[in-house]
Structure 1
Amino acid sequence: MNPEAFVDVFREALGLVSLLVSAVILPSLVVGLMVSIFQAATSINEQTLSFLPRLLVTLAALAFGAHWGLQALLDFFTTIIEQIPEVLG
């Protein structure tokens, strides 16, 4: 067994997880920043005001990116399954 193969798979997995998480989190962060700027400009100090827009944007990002994310995960899984004979032999 080649240790470099495991390191490569782990590196690819971390990259894929980072990409999938950032596709969901970044839109939520942008909306949270816009709501925070709005709250600071209007002096509204309601904590629950930023929750609903961030929730809706996160759900929308999941809905629009689900097909792409699932395809990326399936491609990664297929690649790992195809590499099993190389790692073992």
Structure 2
Amino acid sequence: MKLRLASPSKLVDIGRISELSYIEDRGEYVAVGALTRHRDLEVSAVLGSSVPMLSHVASLVGDPSVRHRGTIGGSVAHGDGASDLPAAVL
């Protein structure tokens, strides 16, 4: 929307749904909520021990202001072919 590539008639703000922001070790996998911020990925002890590559890639996203506001769900949904984060999630 910032680039004017889309002009939706309605928007739904999901930013206050706290249940979508988490990083959990679930034994066989690590679960990350869509509203988890890049900075939270970067400093997560769970990811640091289980999936350090994801923490590292999150530390390279944008600048500090982007990492403090941007979410993993937003990065994946944006679909930027130059972004490393969606590939790291796979």
Between Structure 1 and Structure 2, the one with more strand by share is 2
Structure whose alpha-carbon radius of gyration is higher: 1
Between Structure 1 and Structure 2, the one with more helix by share is 1
With a CA cutoff of 8 Å and minimum separation of 6, indicate the structure with the bigger relative contact order.
1
